[in-house]
Structure 1
Amino acid sequence: MLLLQGVAYTHPNKDLLFSDIQLTVNRQDKIALIGNNGAGKSTLLRIMAGELAPGSGLIKADITPYYVPQLFGQFNGYTVAQALRVADKIQALKEILEGHVTDANMTLLDDDWGIEERCQEAFVHWQLEGVALTQPVSALSGGQKTKVFLAGILIHRPEMVLLDEPSNHLDAASREILYNYIQFTTNTLVVVSHDRTLLNLLTTVYELSKRGVTVYGGNYDFYAEQKLIASDALNQDLKSKEKALRKAKETEREAAERQQKLDARGKKKQEKAGLPTISMNTFRNNAEKSTARMKGVHAEKVDTIWQELNQLRKELPDMDKMKMGFDNSSLHKGKILVTAKEINFGYNDALLWQQPLSFQITSGDRIAIKGRNGAGKTTLIRMILGELQPGAGTLERAAVRSIYIDQDYSLINNQLSVYEQAQQYNSGALQEHEIKTRLNRFLFTKEYWDKPCSALSGGEKMRLMLCVLTIGNQAPDMIIFDEPTNNLDIQNIEILTAAVNEYEGTLLVISHDAYFLKEIGVEEEICLI
């Protein structure tokens, strides 16, 4: 159905993104395409869709895939019908029904008399009530744009569908519709996603890396198990190699000490024997050559093991290289931080929630704030932070140190360098070398220190945010995350998960990612209706 042989792609600035990609997609395959940020997943998907030409290699396809992109900015000047590529067909149908039965209109319609009904049915299925085909794409929310293109699957009825981060911006109800489609469709699917619930519905994982594409014959959980086995084996190899290095260095030292003693003993014997100076010099030269030869052998062995060890360390996943080191909140567990009684909020004299909210947040809680898009989750957060007062009911707050982290990590100042950003959070008067040590722990090596924060990816900004929290003198009592996994790849989600699980303070999370919420131990919910 779709075959890629030796495909390579180079950025316009001549940087090679990937090369020698060998990939086969057969009918009714359901494939997850995963890889770290920057690996080229979206680029490879666009090449498969025929929207981008590879630098080299061969592509064979016997059908045209339907492609749902991750970003929709290029469609902002279009109507919904134009973006879905049905505008001409619908206009032709309208003109035919008005009596303009021309060859041009009949050719455009191509006997597709049910096009309008399919559009309506698809919009109802994807809960796009109120969205019209004539509406500009720019007027839609992020979730609506995604659902419009997902509705295109029902409209065009393709055999093969390529999806790039399809669950981004979708609320829980829309995600369920997407999950049902993926689970029960007979379409051939290739999906780029960091949504692990979605990935577990796909039957094969293709991992894209600098080494090419590696195939794992199972869903995401199977892939994760295989990676864990490989990681455990790698860590065992590391321990074994570190032990071998210590032994080699010890052997080198013992051999040097033994040789020194032998040389000293030999010299004393020669002096007692009263040998001529020329003979003494010959013996000394021979001894020095022997010592140098022995040192060379041991040094070469140590160097070989050292190089092998460094190579193994390079293969470690980034998360295994990182050191978190969070300070704990000073609040004792169970201290009441927020008490809300029958609260609500009004916009234009209309109350936001059908049911007023009553809840209590205590120190150490892990709570998910749930609700459909537009349900007022961010409004509730602003009330909890004291930035808004409820329009009805009472909300009492204890004096706590809170930090709000949105999905764009806007607490990071794009005008600053990485080092300057870290320095801004240096309330404990750490020395320069201590700050740089902390940055190194979060994989910000020397070449990053002067880099502007504006040049960082979403995952890098997340790591920098975690880093500066450890630089502060004490961790905040409460951290509030707003859709923290939206712009992250799987590797960075795992880094975030590890960091959050090390944090012992209070956690509030707005997220539609059920897998992430489970991984970080969220057991309570505040539901907005």
Structure 2
Amino acid sequence: MITLQDITYTHPDRDVLFRGLNLIINKKDKIALIGDNGTGKSSLLNMMAGNLQPASGSVKMSSIPYYVPQIFGQFNDYSIAKALQVEGKLKALNEILDGRMTTENMVLLNDDWAVEERCKNALAHWNLEGLDLAQKMGSLSGGQKTKVFLAGIRIHRPEIVLLDEPSNHLDLWSRKRLYDDLASATNTLVVVSHDKTLLKLPERVFELDKRGITVYGGNYDFYVAQKKLESEALKQDLNSREKALRKARETEKEVLERQQKLDARGKKKQEKAGLPTIVMHAFKNNAEKSSSRIKSVHEDKKAVLSQELGQLRAALPDINKMKMDLNNSALHRGKTLVSAKNINFGYYHQLLWKEPLNFRLNSGERMVIRGANGSGKTTLIKMILGWLQPSSGTLNSLSGIKTIYIDQDYSLIDNNLSVYEQAQAYNSGELQEHEIKIRLNRFLFDKAYWNKSCAALSGGEKMRLMLCALTISNAAPDLIVLDEPTNNLDIQNTGILTAAIGDYKGTLLLVSHDELFLKQINAVHSIELH
């Protein structure tokens, strides 16, 4: 059981992520914790894991949880055994078997005589049989690191499991294994993920936002249906207020025109009657006061409606506020951009692929590079971009094509620049400052962001800034290369990227294990690596 009572957490930059948060997760519950980037999902998970302390409130766990982190760089100098928290036990077991049956070793082992066998079986479950437990984590690929930590669930058999983006870096086979394991699990599970297939497995969805946690009594499909109903109701309210505001403006105009006609007729009658000047002035002042009162009443009504409209528009999902107009490639469809004949690449005199690769990438195509973790997908991208040369075979690229390479860390964003400076860096000189700021606003970077350092942006914010920069640049890319583009994105920003890429008419080359994303952007062609 997990109990969070009156939790407040302040980020190191002094932003309050959440305040007065309360949450109860019962034994064997399976929970999907979702929310936009920056709402504090990972921080909340780290508090449950005991890695972070709240500013106030209490966190109570019925047992020590097992935590699978999203980022693994801090473990690079650890052995696999140390990362899995079994190094001490394994050392004690080996020393006991060598005859050093000390009290210290017996306490460390704690009668867990099967720990080594359990480690081997757990690694084999994830196709990691060839790994040595003494091997450094830094020698592993991202997918292998993830699978090592997932293997720890079978080693420790914890009552509570906390998973932060567990399907990141996993190939298709490993994702399916993860889904099967979570579907059959009897542990208490809390999963932070943007993987929609995975999110359908837990029985309930907890959404974290600035207001706190909203509990949805069903899986992700149920959550999506509820959000759709909320969105439709919001749009109806928005349309209703917009109509009311238009009607209020029309009514004000009609009433004022009617009043002006009455005042004009009254003035003519007064002039014909030959009334004294002082009386004429009094009638004029009364007419002006009457018009002013009418205008004031309507201004108040319009102000209320405008305020309600602003609040409703602020509640719209961010994707509905954005305007995306990526330029399209000038190359005609079907032109060969890249062709490969019998290419291979060697590491330490060993070829990467069992069979040499043959493929052609034509203008307008959407090509996916598929393969298991460690099969050389990123290596192939580097060869196509000209950063590496094949060890054998020939690889030809059309000269003069404009290429943009977008990796999962959005490295094209310069962390030394401000948001405005980064946007300006892509300006060919035709857009004025106010026009660049209008573009930034379209991509949800308002005035508060313009002087903010790019280093302080989340993965989703960097992605949006990258898309914004592409719309500012007049040099439309002929080829966009995306390397695991959705790995560090929440559901909302994945939707934004999907919409932007869906509108792009140039050529796409992708590495992604997110099958739903690939389907939505209509990436039908593939290069298979074995």
Output the CA distance in 2 between the equivalents of 1:17 and 1:350.
Answer: 50
Q: What amino acid is aligned across from residue 286 of structure 2 in structure 1?
A: N
Q: CA deviation at 1:278?
A: 4.0
Could you list the structure 1 runs, at least 4 aligned residues long, displaced by more than 6 angstroms after superposition.
Answer: none
Aligned AA (2:62): D
Q: Are 2:449 and 1:468 equivalent residues in the alignment?
A: no
- CA deviations 1:492-513 (Å, max 9, x no partner) are 1110000000001111111111
1:178, distance to aligned residue in structure 2 (A):
1.5
Equivalent position of 1:10 in the other structure: 10
The match for 1:264 is 264
Correspondences of 1:450-461 after superposition (within 5 Å): 450-461=451-462
- Shift in Å, 1:85: 2.4
Q: Distance in 1 between matches of 2:287 and 2:248?
A: 23
Give the Å deviation of 1:13.
4.6
* 1:527 aligned partner: 528
Q: Which residue of 2 aligns with 1:290?
A: 290
After superposition, the CA RMSD in angstroms is: 2.1
1:138/1:381 CA distance change after superposition, 3 Å:
closer
Q: Deviations over 1:150-184 (max 9, x none)?
A: 11111111122110111222223322222221122
Q: Tell me if 1:449 matches 2:450.
A: yes
Judge which range, 18-27 or 90-99, deviates more. 90-99
For residue 93 of structure 2, what is the aligned residue in structure 1? 93
Letter matched to residue 484 of structure 1: P
What's the CA shift string for 1:437-461, capped at 9, x where partnerless?
A: 2222111222222223222221111
Q: For residue 24 of structure 1, what is the aligned residue in structure 2? A: 24
Write the distance in 1 (CA, Å) between the matches of 2:449 and 2:42: 25
2: distance between equivalents of 1:100 and 1:391?
52
Q: SS where residue 118 of structure 1 aligns?
A: helix
> Shift of residue 391 of structure 1?
3.1
SS at structure 1 position matched to 2:307: helix
C-alpha change, 1:389 and 1:430, in structure 2 (3 Å) is: same
Matching of residue 412 in structure 1 with residue 392 in structure 2: no
TM-score (norm 1): 0.94
- CA–CA separation in structure 1 for the residues paired with 2:506 and 2:81: 49
Spell out the pairing of 1:357-436 with structure 2 (5 A cutoff).
357-399=357-399, 400-427=401-428, 429-436=430-437
Against the structure 1 CA distance between its residues 403 and 121, is the aligned structure 2 distance closer, same or farther, given a 3 Å change threshold? same
Cα deviations across residues 184-240 of structure 1 (Å, max 9, x unaligned)? 211221000112221122222111001111122333233223222322222222222
Aligned position for 1:46: 46
Aligned residue for 2:423, secondary structure, equals helix
1:437 paired residue number:
438
Deviates further, 188-197 or 225-234 = 225-234
Aligned residues of 1:328 and 1:505 also touching (Cα < 8 A): yes
Structure 1 position 76, deviation (Å): 4.1
CA distance in 2, matches of 1:398, 1:272: 88
What does 1:100-179 align with in structure 2 at a 5 Å threshold?
Answer: 100-179=100-179
Which ranges of structure 1 fall in alignment gaps of 5 or more residues?
A: none
Larger CA deviation: 188-197 vs 278-287: 278-287
The answer to which of 141-150 and 99-108 deviates more is 99-108
User: In 2, are the aligned partners of 1:197 and 1:514 still within 8 Å (CA)?
Assistant: no
TM-aligned CA deviation for residue 77 of structure 1: 4.7
Instruction: Determine helix, strand or coil for the equivalent of 1:46.
Output: helix
The CA distance in 2 between the partners of 1:366 and 1:279, in whole Å, is: 82
Distance (whole Å) between structure 2 residues aligned to residue 280 and residue 325 of structure 1: 61
Does the CA contact (< 8 Å) of 1:428 and 1:473 recur in 2?
no
Q: Offset of 1:474 from its aligned partner?
A: 4.3
**198 and 330 in structure 1: CA distance in 2 versus 1, 3 angstrom threshold:** same
My pick for the range that moved more, 490-499 or 215-224, is: 215-224
**8 Å CA contact 2:484, 2:511 repeated in 1:** yes
Number of positions where the alignment pairs a residue of Structure 1 with one of Structure 2: 529
CA distance in 2, matches of 1:525, 1:503: 19
Q: Indicate if the aligned counterparts of 2:65 and 2:160 stay in contact, CA closer than 8 A.
A: yes
**Contact 1:418-1:449 within 8 A present in 2 as well:** yes
C-alpha contact 1:245 1:305 (8 A) present in aligned 2: yes
Question: Closer, same or farther in 2 for the Cα pair 1:345/1:78, shift >3 Å?
Answer: closer
Q: What secondary structure is seen at the aligned counterpart in 1 of 2:18?
A: strand
- Secondary structure of 2:488's counterpart equals coil
Tell me, in whole angstroms, the C-alpha distance in 1 between the residues paired with 2:200 and 2:484. 20
Aligned to 1:338: 338
1:21–1:80: structure 2 CA closer, same or farther, 3 Å change rule?
same
How far does the alpha carbon of each residue in 1:422-450 deviate from its partner, in whole angstroms, 9 at most, with x for none? Answer: 22222362222222222221112222222
| Identity rate, percent | 65
Q: Hey, what's the Cα distance between the residues in 1 that align with 2:31 and 2:334?
A: 45
Q: TM-score, normalised by structure 2?
A: 0.94
